[in-house]
Amino acid sequence: MPSASEMIVQTLEEAGIEYVFGIPGGGTGQIFQVLETKQDRIKTILVRHEQVAAIMADAYGRAAGKPAAIMGQGLFMGSNATFGIMEAMLSSSPMLVITDTSDGGAAQRPANQSGAGEYGSIDLQSIFKSMTKYTTLATSPKEAVLGTQMAIKHAVSGRPGPTTVLMRSAAISGQVDVESPPFIHNASGFLNTSKPASSAVDIERAIKILSESKRPVIIAGNGVRVARAHTELQELAEQWGMPVATSYKGKSAISEDHPLALGMVGTYGQETANRAVGDADTVLVIGALLRSQETVGERPDIFNPNRQRIIQIDIDERNAGWSFPVELGLIGDAKVILEQLIEASKAAAQDNSGRKEWTDSLPGRRDAGGYHDQPEMHEDSSPVKPQRLIAQLQATMEDSTIYTLDAGNNRTWMAHLYRAQQANTFYSPGGTAGMGWALPAAVGLKLVYPDQPVVCVTGDGGYMMTVNAISTAVQYDLPIICVVFNNNSLGMVHDHQPEGHKIASEFYPTNNAVVAEGMGAWGVQVSDSKDLPDALRAAQASGKPAVIDVLIDPGPSPDDWRAGAWRPGQT
């Protein structure tokens, strides 16, 4: 009889899992040993910490549209890896967690590192259930195999997300009886399901609403990326001459150079987008939850269901009409529904006379709103102004460059000022939205985009949280570029503390490039903005993972221009 470890690896292969990120530990060491014979089909990526394994898998899942696995010992997967697992859950990224309870075969006895949930141990099952779509506890070898199959299915079904196979020691080490029911079938057969579409009558209702609109606008969110619907989004917008704004996590759903693009809406968004959405009579929301950040604290001059007709497309019916009441919720896969709308729009969208004035107003709106522009973007200085850094990234890097963002002011500057010149080039943490995501995410994305530049943009605080990912990039020859906004502080925290009363927001000065060089990467520290283009070109030419540590002027703050939240009594 085959062992559970052998059949788990066989299941991964049948389901098309290409990468396993992790650290061998506990009972999972047996599964890693089987993987050693499968490296031509399932690549194992050894990491320095479980947190970066989960972040790499999160980013990989977003870009590839299928899960990678993360694997390691239970207590450390249930603690260290939770950062990336929670982000995947809140950002709809498919991921498979494979781990054990390390119960030593006697969960009811005192044990080191046990996560069996019995007295004297940690309840790992409850921990994983609280942050994944699906968690199964396998107590036998067959349950471990069947649980792996179902976990992969749940990870990609409906709204994608992380799932967990948690195994007792006996489940991993035992042999699988394949001759008696429940029988084990090829895992690929559980994945052959079509994406859900909307009903024809609801598509007709949506077309009617759009036909009656004079000033329709699209808000494109993370759901466009999840559904791989960038082309369909652009086609529908062009059919109707309908401008497109994006949520923060939806940035690059459409090229921001497209004539119909408005940029990002929200607290740190473009004035062009906020004003256009506020002037719209119909808002078509595609895969966006309309969080407080997107609605600027529910400012009624931007979003107001009392004067706007709202159509919301989402894979999960609970999300449509969650933030605001909607006139119509279209439930299903965003790509499939957009294809339905495109087909149904062929006749209805031809008469655009009522929308021509709205569409023609977009160039003037962009000019008036200072579209992706600030005066500081054109001024060299030492130390470097964040606005100028972004302008030089824009001018120096290829249009096809993939960016990962982090948390804090560095993310805000990038999301607001960088103009995404191609669709699907921005990846951001927006579920937990925590520091330290950008660097390991860039490593995960380089596996999906080996022929495109991948640039991590982070602050010095976030960089040092997951700096060990540089070592992984070096080990597996993944030449990412990491641009560090180094102001020796927690910028956003520091900005919000009163002058003369700063606390726990300033770091000891560190040369982050030298840290990277110690791991075998290429590194340089830049203090003058005039030197940045050459540094970017040299980083690319090095052929190595590279870190450009940019000494940032701490003076400019996103608070100087961000959109304020509405309060009762305001107009």
C-alpha to C-alpha distances, 164 to 235, 276, 381, 494, nearest whole angstrom: 38, 43, 50, 38
Cα 563 to chain centroid distance, Å, stands at 24
With tokens 């859950």, the residue in question is: 89
With tokens 């159509």, the residue in question is: 311
Q: Could you tell me the fold of the domain covering 200-368?
A: Rossmann fold (3.40.50)
Q: Which of 465, 456, 502, 509 is nearest to 487 (CA)?
A: 509
Mutual angle of helices 50-64 and 82-90, in 10-degree steps = 20
| Superfamily for domain range 375-560 | Thiamin diphosphate (ThDP)-binding fold, Pyr/PP domains (3.40.50.970)
Considering the domain delimited by 4-190, tell me its CATH architecture: 3-Layer(aba) Sandwich (3.40)
Count of CB atoms within 10 A of residue 33's CB? 13
What type of residue sits at position 290? L
Asked whether the beta carbons of 35 and 72 are under 8 A apart, the reply is: no
Asked whether the beta carbons of 176 and 141 are under 8 A apart, the reply is: yes
pLDDT tens for the 571 residues of the chain, in order? 899 999 999 999 999 999 999 999 999 999 999 999 999 999 999 999 999 999 999 999 999 999 999 999 999 999 999 999 999 999 999 999 999 999 988 888 888 899 999 999 999 999 999 999 999 999 999 999 999 999 999 999 999 999 999 999 999 989 999 999 999 999 999 999 999 999 999 999 999 999 999 999 999 999 999 999 999 999 999 999 999 999 999 999 999 999 999 999 999 999 999 999 999 999 999 999 999 999 999 999 999 999 999 999 999 999 999 999 999 999 999 999 999 999 999 988 778 888 999 999 999 999 999 999 999 999 999 999 999 999 999 999 999 999 999 999 999 999 999 999 999 999 999 888 899 999 999 999 999 999 999 999 999 999 999 999 999 999 999 999 999 999 988 888 888 889 999 998 899 999 999 999 999 999 999 999 999 999 999 999 999 999 999 999 999 999 888 888 776 655 5
Query: Any idea where the domains of the chain sit in the sequence?
Result: 4-190, 200-368, 375-560
Q: Which of 257, 278, 153 is nearest to 215 (CA)?
A: 278
What pLDDT, on the 0 to 100 scale, is given for residue 569? 59
Rounded to two decimals, the pTM is 0.96
Indicate if 375-560 has the same CATH topology as 4-190.
yes
Largest CA distance in the chain: 77
Taking the C-alpha atoms of residue 378 and residue 383, their distance in angstroms, rounded to an integer, is 14
What pLDDT, on the 0 to 100 scale, is given for residue 347? 85
Tokens of 540: 């690319």
What pLDDT, on the 0 to 100 scale, is given for residue 120? 92
What type of residue sits at position 198? S
Tokens of 345: 């729009």
Taking the C-alpha atoms of residue 393 and residue 385, their distance in angstroms, rounded to an integer, is 13
Mutual angle of helices 386-396 and 409-417, in 10-degree steps = 50
What pLDDT, on the 0 to 100 scale, is given for residue 352? 80
Mutual angle of helices 334-348 and 230-240, in 10-degree steps = 20
What pLDDT, on the 0 to 100 scale, is given for residue 469? 98
What pLDDT, on the 0 to 100 scale, is given for residue 570? 58
- Three-state DSSP at 231 gives helix
What pLDDT, on the 0 to 100 scale, is given for residue 353? 81
Tokens of 419: 């103009």
Taking the C-alpha atoms of residue 98 and residue 69, their distance in angstroms, rounded to an integer, is 7
What pLDDT, on the 0 to 100 scale, is given for residue 419? 97
